[in-house]
Structure 1
Amino acid sequence: MRCGGNRRRNSLFINSGGEEVDDGKNHYHNDTSLSSFNLSPSEDWAYSYAGDYLWAKVNASTLVRNLTCEITNSKANIDNNFRLAPVSLTYYGLCLRKGKYIVTLHFAKALYSKSEDYSTSGKRVFDIYIQGMIVKKDVNIKEIPGKEHEERRLQFKVKINDGSLEIKFFWAGKGSLYNPPGLNGPLISAVSITRVGCILFLLLLLAFMWRMGWIGDRELRETTVKIGERTFTLKQIIDATKKFSPKMELGSGRSGIVYRAQILQDLVNM
């Protein structure tokens, strides 16, 4: 598939099985179509699914689900909905700029509630492919590390050269088949695709604003930057790099200077 427009982007966020939503940090596209193939109105992403459930008659409307979480949250979120597929589910990211990206796969937190029979009475296992290569085999989403009522994630690094990205979830026949009906097949709550360079640019911009005195103490403690799977405040980064001291420099590249930072006894390069 090719990009339907001339505009190239550095990120893509899809709310699988849910409405268009803004979580305060990112804007997620609506993904509630019931057809086996759908190209977004913006023509910069699409999905397709294939297969049939072996032992149950399942209407297409059941492939898009929303669960009511036991923890009330007034803010819009991507944690309570998901998209199912009988055998395979593929997302296509289009119009992406050339570069390195982080792909984050989100799984609905309501699935892990002990009172949710849908999740506790069976086992869902599937494989994950990115750009045609298997990156995770025999994924059981209940075994992904995380606490009850918390969203669970898997992250992968990928390089995009031709502007497109393919993420495929495939059920290879493992897991539960009978109880409850239709438990087999992949499941996903949201897909986030973020260019690595954007994170570095944001960090450099914030550092520049701090040096110019445009950011006060309150902003230092409240402004956060996500690096990999961890989130740090700007104050933590400044302190950990000793105010971006030359002594903490490891080298420089196309994106700028790389610093060594020590945060809570962990060494982080940024």
Structure 2
Amino acid sequence: NALLTYFNVGNGRCKLLAQLWWTTIIADGIQFEAENRTLGPAKFNVTSTQKWAVSNAGLFADRQNQQFVENNGGQVRSTNTPELYETSRLSPGSLRYYGLGLENGPYTVRLFFAETGFPERTSGSWRSLARRVFDVYIQGARRLRDFDISKEAGGVQRAISRNFTTNVTENHLEIHLFWAGKGTSGTPEDGYYGPSISAISVVPNFIPTVSGIPPSNPKEKNHTALIAGVTVPVVALALILIFAIIYVKRKKEDDDEEVLLGISPRPNTFTYSELKAATEDFSPSNKLGEGGFGPVYKGTLSDGRVVAVKQLSVASNQGKDQFVAEIATISAVQHRNLVKLLGCCIGGNRRLLVYEYLVNKSLDQALWGKEDLHLDWPTRFNICLSTARGLAYLHEESMPRIVHRDVKASNILLDAELCPKISDFGLAKLYDDKKTHITTRAAGTIGYLAPEYAMRGHLTEKVDVFGFGVLALEIISGRPNSYNSVENDRIYLLEWVIQTDISLLQYYLFKYLLNS
């Protein structure tokens, strides 16, 4: 298994020869130098003459014996120099030979092959179907594609060579044998595949202006050592850069995945391309509404399911926190009056939640929007009762206990039977029912906030009860919590109640309840 050497012939031409052999031999009057250094999964060697170098990359998968040399046990036919083919260099993936210090100009490259690792194709055994297929590149240009040694030679144990003309422009030559994953890989043993070559010769197609005899000047040796010394660090630096890029990409993916860690049960995940296709690239025609942290779109998944896709803006930490809180909360609870989370999508700045689609949209649209829905009094009563059941589940039955903190009409969704489902858990807060209260920064919607919570951050489940009371007044009175588009002139429902005859409001309330 040899690398290559310069050899002077009678006409003064200089041949660069390599023979994949353990000892130096002479064939047809040409001396082939042995390549006698061990190659491994990632190895780079320079010959003793410092005129050739070889590198290998790859590991034989599923193969216990990581042997990179094939020793021929038989006689190779169709050649006058069978000794050239007694051994062959093997590689599981990428095998490169470099001719160093060449004079620029045109050269003829001759590659010597013989398939010695497979049985004859005429044997009738299934092993005879084995194929070794690889590509050959010279100076970066592909010269052989899907090259099958035994097929081209007409059988195994037959010699074959291929000649190519190429140009050397920067004083070096590269011959690259590359396995592209084609051919067989399980015969005569598992992990047997990849390129194979027996010998190489390179002959200039011109009269060299310098002698082909290797100089004995120590400076020349230092120059060659410098080439190898520079090449190895450059390759190492390139590998470091590649691994750094992969690491940064993996780190980003891990950071995205870290958002979902600790959430049990872990939610189903969708790809961004899936949701983009489902919503027709988030078409405005599919937009269902706009929440405090982003729009909601109607979408149809590839399996036919119709979903609601909530697109969260994460330009601020509040958006990211809201995303995590919503996943963690809704994943931990299940109730017929709570909206069902189907999954999520996280990647970079994209954060999306996928919910079941409720055909009648939100309660505020049903009450005051353009939706053609008739909410009679029994229906309104059922909406109030079912919403109360959902809140009671969050406060008393779920583990852990949850305060929604944003109970309002736009966060109550209606299914096809007008059954309400509480949604939008982005502001939800977990609490310990053994404590009388917790103190936190107030969050929610003005007009629905309990006074003790809005002023002191005093949080209990009664914050949701207060919001539900305002919601019940909206449902019964048919009036939104606030009206008048000018912020300073807004009148909230509770303020309107105070300004209205209380007895009249009580009369309407009892009348509605009795009719229900």
TM-score, normalization by structure 1: 0.61
Are the counterparts in 1 of residues 93 and 179 from structure 2 also a CA contact under 8 Å?
A: yes
* Mapping 1:1-270, distance limit 5 Å: 10-35=14-39, 36-59=43-66, 62-70=67-75, 77-108=83-114, 110=116, 114=120, 120-146=128-154, 149-179=157-187, 180-197=189-206
Deviation at 1:194, TM superposition (A): 0.9
Instruction: For residues 97-155 of structure 1, give each alpha carbon's deviation from its aligned partner in whole angstroms, at most 9, with x where no partner exists.
Output: 222111111013645773999x8451111111111111111111112145765411111
Shift of 1:10: 2.8
Tell me the amino acid that sits aligned with residue 31 of structure 1.
E
Residue in 1 aligned with 2:215?
A: none
1: CA distance, partners of 2:76 / 2:142:
35
CA distance in 2: counterparts of 1:198 and 1:45, whole angstroms: 21
How far apart, in 1, do the equivalents of 2:149 and 2:131 lie? 9
How far residue 24 of structure 1 moved from its aligned partner, in angstroms, is 3.5
Return the letter of the residue paired with 1:187: S
- Give the structure 1 partner of residue 274 of structure 2: none
Higher relative contact order (CA 8 A, sep 6+): 1
Structure 1 residues 185 and 38, CA gap change in structure 2 (3 angstroms): same
What letter matches 1:105 in structure 2?
Answer: L
1:263 maps to: none
Moved over 3 A (4+): 70-76, 109-113, 145-150
* Structure 1 residues 150 and 64: alpha-carbon distance in aligned structure 2, compared to 1, 3 A threshold: same
Cα pair 1:123 1:183 within 8 Å, conserved:
no
Alpha-carbon offset, residue 197 of structure 1 = 2.6
The question of whether the paired residues in 1 share the 8 Å contact of 2:115 and 2:149 is answered with: no
Secondary structure at the aligned position of 2:206 is classed as: helix
Pair 1:145–1:64, CA change in 2 (3 A) = closer
Q: Is the 8 A contact 2:118 2:130 kept in 1?
A: no
The structure carrying a bigger strand percent of its residues is 1
Letter in 2 for 1:106: F
Deviation of the 1:53 alpha carbon: 1.4
Q: Which structure has the greater CA radius of gyration?
A: 2
Matches of 1:141 and 1:75, distance apart in 2: 18
Give a deviation string over 1:182-232, Cα, whole Å, max 9, x none.
Answer: 321110001111112369xxxxxxxxxxxxxxxxxxxxxxxxxxxxxxxxx
Deviates more, 1:32-41 or 1:44-53: 32-41
Secondary structure (helix, strand or coil) at the match of 1:78 reads helix
* Separation (CA, whole Å) in 1 of partners of 2:24 and 2:157: 22
1:77 maps to amino acid = E
Distance 1:31 1:45, change over 3 A: same
SS of the residue aligned with 1:135?
strand
User: Aligned partner of 2:192: which letter?
Assistant: L
CA distance in 2, matches of 1:185, 1:80: 18
Residues 32 and 64 in structure 1, CA contact (< 8 A), matched pair in contact too = no
Higher helix share: 2
In structure 2, the residue corresponding to 1:192 is in which secondary structure? Answer: strand
CA contact 2:114–2:156 (8 Å) conserved in 1 = no
Q: 5+ residue gaps in structure 2?
A: 1-12, 209-516
Following the alignment from structure 2 to structure 1, what is the Cα–Cα distance between the partners of residues 186 and 155? Answer: 27
Q: Does the Cα contact within 8 Å between 1:70 and 1:110 map onto a contact in 2?
A: no
Q: Secondary structure at the match of 2:164?
A: strand
Q: Using structure 2 for the length normalisation, give the TM-score.
A: 0.33
Show CA shifts across 1:66-90 (max 9, x none): 2132379997720221000010100
Alignment length, in residue pairs? 188
Secondary structure in 2 aligned to 1:144? Answer: helix
Between stretches 73-82 and 89-98, larger displacement belongs to 73-82
